[in-house]
């Protein structure tokens, strides 16, 4: 990432991956994209991120192939949407790994704030990031719901590709 040391040409795939996703905003933008956010203004409002910071991160994510920008003509001006690519979709296990580790090893500000990852096919809450710990099927955006008690009691479907 251009903001700091460049690991994009490193032989280690972990280093090349963190060169792209080793940034809190990038991960939080991915989280929003998986829950249906597509437009600049909505990312900004949901994340409370400064315009210039968001703009730079979205461009980096497009350049890195995680998001695809599509434009359409609105009534007054052209709008852009940012959609997860296949490569971006394959970062769902990263978000799940972070969520599960965060639930186990960090403390929420309110005791009642918890995130549960649900496998919609079998209905179970999974304790694994890639495959449902109940039935063993892969967890994809198509088959995953998130329940985040501090937002809503109901679980939400993730955005299919």
List interacting residues with its own copies (CB under 8 A): 4-5, 7-24, 27-28, 31, 65, 87, 90-91, 93-95, 97-106, 108-110, 113-115, 128-131, 136, 148, 150
**Total length of the chain:** 161
Packing angle, helices 13-21 and 24-34, rounded to 10: 80
Nearer to its own copies, 31 or 79 (CB): 31
**Residue 109 to residues 114, 136, 147, 150, Cα–Cα distance (Å):** 10, 32, 17, 10
The least CB distance from residue 132 to its own copies, in Å, is 12
Q: With contact defined as beta carbons under 8 Å apart, do 145 and 120 qualify?
A: yes
* Nearest distance from C-beta of residue 37 to its own copies, angstroms: 14
- Which residues sit opposite 138 in a β-bridge? 131
Closer to its own copies by CB, 49 or 79: give it. 49
CB 139 within 8 A of CB 131: yes
In angstroms, give the least distance from the CB of 84 to its own copies. 13
- Which of residues 78 and 107 has its CB atom nearest to its own copies in the complex? 107
Alpha-carbon gap, residue 79 to 71, rounded angstroms: 6
Task: Specify the residue, 74 or 82, whose C-beta has the smaller distance to its own copies.
Answer: 82
User: Minimal distance in Å, beta carbon 147 to its own copies?
Assistant: 12
């Amino acid at each position: 990432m251009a903001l700091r040391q460049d690991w994009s040409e490193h032989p280690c795939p972990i280093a090349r991956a963190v060169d792209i996703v080793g940034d809190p905003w990038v991960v939080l933008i991915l989280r929003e994209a998986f829950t249906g956010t597509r437009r600049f203004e909505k990312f900004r409002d949901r994340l409370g991120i400064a315009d210039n910071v968001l703009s730079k991160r979205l461009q980096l994510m497009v350049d890195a192939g995680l998001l695809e920008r599509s434009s359409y003509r609105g009534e007054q001006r052209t709008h852009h949407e940012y959609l997860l690519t296949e490569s971006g979709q394959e970062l769902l296990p990263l978000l799940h790994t972070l969520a599960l580790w965060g639930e186990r090893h960090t403390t929420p500000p309110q005791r009642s704030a918890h995130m549960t990852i649900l496998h919609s096919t079998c209905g179970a809450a999974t304790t694994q990031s890639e495959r449902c710990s109940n039935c063993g099927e892969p967890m994809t955006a198509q088959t995953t719901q998130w329940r985040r008690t501090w937002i809503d009691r109901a679980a939400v479907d993730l955005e299919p590709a």
